[in-house]
Structure 1
Amino acid sequence: MQIANPVLPGFNADPSMIRVGDTYYIANSTFEWFPGVRLHESKDMVHWNLLPSPLSRTSQLDMRGNPSSGGIWAPDLSYADGKFWLIYTDVKVVNGAFKDCTNYLVTAESIHGPWSEPIRVNGVGFDASLFHDDDGRKYLVQQTWDFREYHHGFDGITLTEFDVKTMKLKPETERTIWRGTDVKLTEGPHLYKINGYYYLFAAEGGTVYTHQEVVARSKSLDALSFEGMPSNPFITNFDTPRSYLQKQGHGALVDTPSGEWYYASLCGRPWHHDNESFTDPRGWCTLGRETSIQKVEWTEDGWPYIVGGHGGQRYVDAPKDAIETEAPADHSQHDDFMSDTLDLNWNTLRVPFDGKMGKVGGGVLELRGQGSLCNLFDLSLVARRWQAFNFDATVKVEFDPKNYRQMAGLTNYYDDLCWSWVFVTWDERRQCRVIEVAQNDFNNYTSFLRDTAPAVPDDVKSVWLRTKVRKQWYSYEYSFDGTSWVNLGVKLDAKILSDDYILRRYGGFFTGAFVGLAAIDLSGYDRVAKFSEFDYRELPDNE
Structure 2
Amino acid sequence: MHHTPIKNPILRGFNPDPYLLKVNGTFYIAVSSFEWLPGVRIYQSNDLVNWQHETDILTTQIDLRGNPQGGSIWAPQLSYADGLFYLVYTDVKSTKRPFKDSHNYLITSSSIHGPWSEPVYMNSSGFDPSLFHDMDGKKWILNEIWDYRLTTGNKSAGIVLQEYNPEQKKVAGPVYKIFDGTELAKTEAPHIYRHGKYYYLITAEGGTGKGHAVTVCRSEKITGPYELDPQYPMLTARDKPNSPLQSSGHGSIVQTDEGKWYMAYLCTRPLLGKAAILGRETAIQEVYWTEDGWLRLVGGGNAPAIETEIVTKQAAEQKKDTNFYDEFNGLLKKEWNTLRILADDTWCDLDSRPGYLRMIAGESIQSLFEHHLLAIRQKDFHFSAVTKMDYHPTKFNQMAGLILYLNDSSYLYAYITSDEEKGRVIRLLRSEKNEFILSPEKIQVEDGEIELRIEGEGAEGQFYYRIAGESNNWHPIGPSQNLLFLSGGFTGNFIGIAVHDMNQIAGSYADFDYFKYQGLDE
Query: Do these two structures clear the TM 0.5 threshold for a shared fold by scoring above it?
Result: yes
Is 1:368 paired with 2:369?
no
> Shift in Å at residue 365 of structure 1?
1.3
> Shift in Å at residue 324 of structure 1?
4.9
Is 1:532 paired with 2:522?
no
- What residue number does 1:455 align with? 444
Where do 1:310-349 residues align within 5 Å? 310-321=302-313, 324=316, 329-339=320-330, 341-349=331-339
- Give the alignment partner of residue 29 of structure 1, picking from 24, 28, 32: 32
> Shift in Å at residue 453 of structure 1?
1.6
Q: Distance in 2 between matches of 1:398 and 1:192?
A: 54
Structure 1 residues not aligned, in runs of 5+: 273-281, 500-508
Q: Distance in 2 between matches of 1:373 and 1:2?
A: 43
- Residue by residue, what CA displacement relative to the aligned partner does 1:163-205 show, whole Å, maximum 9, x if unpaired? 12212111x3211011111111000000000001000000000
The answer (yes or no) to whether the contact 2:47–2:312 under 8 Å persists in 1 is: no
Q: Distance in 1 between matches of 2:349 and 2:486?
A: 28
Structure 2 residues not aligned, in runs of 5+: none
What amino acid is aligned across from residue 25 of structure 1 in structure 2?
Y
- Residue by residue, what CA displacement relative to the aligned partner does 1:255-290 show, whole Å, maximum 9, x if unpaired? 101211000000000111xxxxxxxxx411000000
- What residue number does 1:520 align with? 500
What amino acid is aligned across from residue 304 of structure 2 in structure 1?
G
The answer (yes or no) to whether the contact 1:4–1:46 under 8 Å persists in 2 is: no
- What residue number does 1:258 align with? 258
Between structures 1 and 2, the one with greater strand share: 2
- What residue number does 2:15 align with? 12
Q: Distance in 1 between matches of 2:85 and 2:232?
A: 31
Where do 1:154-173 residues align within 5 Å? 154-170=156-172, 172-173=173-174
The answer (yes or no) to whether the contact 1:266–1:291 under 8 Å persists in 2 is: yes
- Give the alignment partner of residue 474 of structure 2, picking from 485, 489, 513: 485
Distance change >3 Å, CA 43–CA 322, structure 1 → 2:
farther
> Shift in Å at residue 366 of structure 1?
1.1
What amino acid is aligned across from residue 517 of structure 2 in structure 1?
Y
- What residue number does 1:292 align with? 283
Is 1:62 paired with 2:42?
no
> Shift in Å at residue 429 of structure 1?
2.1
Is 1:422 paired with 2:398?
no
- What residue number does 1:506 align with? none
The answer (yes or no) to whether the contact 1:99–1:145 under 8 Å persists in 2 is: yes
- What residue number does 2:226 align with? 226
> Shift in Å at residue 488 of structure 1?
1.8
Q: Secondary structure at the match of 1:249?
A: strand
The answer (yes or no) to whether the contact 1:409–1:423 under 8 Å persists in 2 is: yes
Where do 1:200-215 residues align within 5 Å? 200-215=201-216
Q: Distance in 1 between matches of 2:357 and 2:316?
A: 36
TM-score by length of 2: 0.95
- What residue number does 2:123 align with? 122
Cα RMSD (Å)? 1.5
- What residue number does 2:241 align with? 241
- Higher alpha-carbon deviation: 5-14 or 306-315: 306-315
How much identity, in percent, do the aligned residues show? 40
Q: Distance in 1 between matches of 2:178 and 2:304?
A: 28
- What residue number does 1:350 align with? 340
- Give the alignment partner of residue 388 of structure 1, picking from 380, 387, 401: 380
Q: Distance in 2 between matches of 1:79 and 1:157?
A: 22
Q: Distance in 1 between matches of 2:493 and 2:373?
A: 14
> Shift in Å at residue 211 of structure 1?
0.5
Where do 1:129-168 residues align within 5 Å? 129-150=130-151, 153-168=155-170
- Residue by residue, what CA displacement relative to the aligned partner does 1:441-464 show, whole Å, maximum 9, x if unpaired? 22222111x2x321112xx41000
- Residue by residue, what CA displacement relative to the aligned partner does 1:417-473 show, whole Å, maximum 9, x if unpaired? 11011000001022x10010110122222111x2x321112xx41000000111111
The answer (yes or no) to whether the contact 1:396–1:464 under 8 Å persists in 2 is: yes
- Residue by residue, what CA displacement relative to the aligned partner does 1:11-36 show, whole Å, maximum 9, x if unpaired? 00000000012110000000000111
Is 1:106 paired with 2:87?
no
- What residue number does 1:440 align with? 431
- Higher alpha-carbon deviation: 363-372 or 26-35: 363-372
> Shift in Å at residue 342 of structure 1?
1.9
Distance change >3 Å, CA 323–CA 146, structure 1 → 2:
farther
What amino acid is aligned across from residue 46 of structure 2 in structure 1?
K
Distance change >3 Å, CA 322–CA 313, structure 1 → 2:
farther
The answer (yes or no) to whether the contact 1:3–1:293 under 8 Å persists in 2 is: no
What is the count of residue pairs matched by the alignment? 512
- Higher alpha-carbon deviation: 210-219 or 110-119: 110-119
